[in-house]
Amino acid sequence: MKFSANLGFLWNDRPLPEAIRAAKAAGFDAVECHWPYDIPADEVKAALRETGLPMLGLNTRRGDVNAGDNGLSAIPGREAEARAAIDEAIAYATAIGTSKIHVMAGFANGHEAHQCFVANLQYACTQAAPHDITILIEPLNKYDAAGYFLTTTEQALAIIEAVAAPTLKLMFDCYHVQLMEGDLTHRIEALLPWIGHIQFASVPDRGAPDHGEINYDHVFELTRRLGYDSPLGAEYKPGGNTDDTLGWLNRPVADSV
């Protein structure tokens, strides 16, 4: 089983290049991040080259965080900002060799927001295609991100079908999906053709995957049985020293399934 460390949460008390090195030392097979833009791309690329770890993905900027933004691409009237964020993400991903970009929708609702999101995603897919970059969309739960436009896998699938681009995929975060929909086994099985990345954390506290209401031994075995062989993204909040939460990574199930 392969695992990716999401450095938005894990070792996020360190500069990104140092966090990449920490992930390598801990035994992860890959890394991913949220918003790396304040770190020069050449520094990140050097750390990736040194460790041999791929950077699987990054997010578009949220917008004006102080004003409450959490993404821009589903907000009518802010298309120019949304597309600038998409262009920035593609440029950074290309510079460091990242193959996936999560385009964040933002706080919005209604048909106009849906149309806006579809149009911006079509733009993102067109711009990313020459660079062999996959665009991801991720449903977020209503408890952590109240008012976020994209909340369910059913809604995400409708958007993917409307955009009609082969490079648009679903980010299936087990934590968010469990809180909003449950039934993870059947949803992963049904949605596998549209899944571009899988992430995980315990429910309900978003901690390490060794407690809570989800049996991750089962989830990890399920993905293996279905033939999903990309690294699974550990996007959980360690609540302290990341290294102290990694017992799950070296458990027999993680090595044997």
List residues with catalytic annotation. Answer: 138, 235
Question: Tokens 């099985």 appear where?
Answer: 189
Contact call for residues 145 and 178 (beta carbons, < 8 A): no
Coil vs helix vs strand at 182: coil
DSSP string of 59-99, one letter each residue: E---S-GGGT-SB-TT-TT-HHHHHHHHHHHHHHHHHHT--
- How far, in Å, CA of 178 to CA of 213, rounded? 9
**Bridging pattern class, strands 100-102 and 3-6:** unpaired
The upper half-sphere exposure of residue 236, i.e. CA atoms within 13 Å in the direction of its Cβ, equals 29
Q: What is the helix (H) or strand (E) element at residue 197, kind and residue range? A: strand 195-200
For the chain, helix (H) and strand (E) counts, in that order, are: 9, 8
Contact call for residues 47 and 96 (beta carbons, < 8 A): no
Of 45, 57, 61, the residue nearest 100 (C-alpha): 57
What does the angle CA 174 – CA 55 – CA 231 come to, to the nearest 5 degrees? 40
- How far, in Å, CA of 86 to CA of 91, rounded? 9
At residue 18, what is the residue type? E
